[in-house]
Chains A and B, each alone.
Chain A
Amino acid sequence: MSEFAVHIETLRKRYSNGVEALAGVSLQVPYGSIFGLIGPNGAGKSTMVKSLLSILRPTECRGTMLSEPIGNKAILAKVGYLPEHASFPDYLTGRQVIEYAAGLAHQSRAACRQRCDTLLEQVGMRDAAHRSIRTYSKGMKQRIGLAQALINDPVVVFLDEPTDGVDPEGRIDFKNMISAMREEGRTVFVNSHLLAEVEQVADRVAILSKGRIIQQGLVEEMTRRDARYEIKFQGQLPVPLMEWCQQQHMIIEQDRISYRADSPLQMQPLIDRLRAALVVIREIKEERFSLEELFLQAVAQSRAETSATKGGAR
């Protein structure tokens, strides 16, 4: 069995109007991880998820999901999905929406009833489950949407902009629920443009721009890449120490020294020298790039490359 819940070798989608929504995407999502797909509006995030779930017909697709070729309908019995702007029939109650999803996923009524109660409790909708969907707020609909995505006890869950229209308190709940899914051993694929949220829950991310993956990897590694350490001190640095710092390509600005380093070990000689020179250290901190900074940097770089290519072609 593959170590990846989703393994896309290549995925391309060109619409009939000529727009290339996905230009040969390739990515891997390991089992049991939370994978965040981020990108600006129109980058192709929803197109990618819809292609994996056979909602869209990709122009070219090679890869596997749960060890079966992508496009195999039967495998969808082990997949959960909350679409962006999910819209449920307003003549149904919250519980009926979940039962409807269970029925379509081949779940027996007996199995569904028990699981439905548990999920309603988990998403905090037990008391409102008997009410018509038309009386729900956007946040409540999203909670029911999440419950219906989990009713078939899926191995992989796709959440497309799950916190869209959800209030701050609800967002925290969603974050906790997504983390709980990982603890239950599920693989979660989150599409979002809310980068801070993705950074908080995701193990891995991919940045999608104009139908191409421009960066992907572990969040930890990506944000640590180009990490800096900053030491704030009191008073003046002795001249020999200043010279040594400059030789080490450290940057000295007023009362702080900053240094690019992959590991805190590399900072130890500086700390030793500061202590030996009786310089008072006020603060040491590791400065990492946030996902937002990485994202903006990557998207800007991609745009610049595209412009350069176009310019060159002319």
Chain B
Amino acid sequence: MEFILAILIGIFYAAGLYMMLRRSLVKLIIGLILLGNGANLLIFLLGRITKGLPPIISGESPVFLGAYADPIPQALILTAIVISFGLQSFAIVLVKRAYTVVKTDDLDQMNSTDQFS
């Protein structure tokens, strides 16, 4: 399971970076989404996907130790998902506005702010 997830995370990161390096704005957003999902899976994997070791239960109550997984990675992922939900919806609106104003979705054409004036 860990092995498959590790490979999957690698694919997510690679695909996300590749998409971010494209010139199209839409692909940029897809890249960001993939990267975000990769990061979430990474938290999931590194938070140990087995039961046991919840940090808030002390070692003296072994009954619960085996039954519960560490809840923190899930809380982290949920937070990260909520944040990326907000960011991605903002990104879509921004790209749409940029497309209607600049009239292109080619990032290479959007260089007017870098030019000398």
**Chains A and B come from one and the same complex:** no
Residues of B within 8 A of A (CB): none
Chain A residues in contact with chain B, CB under 8 A? none
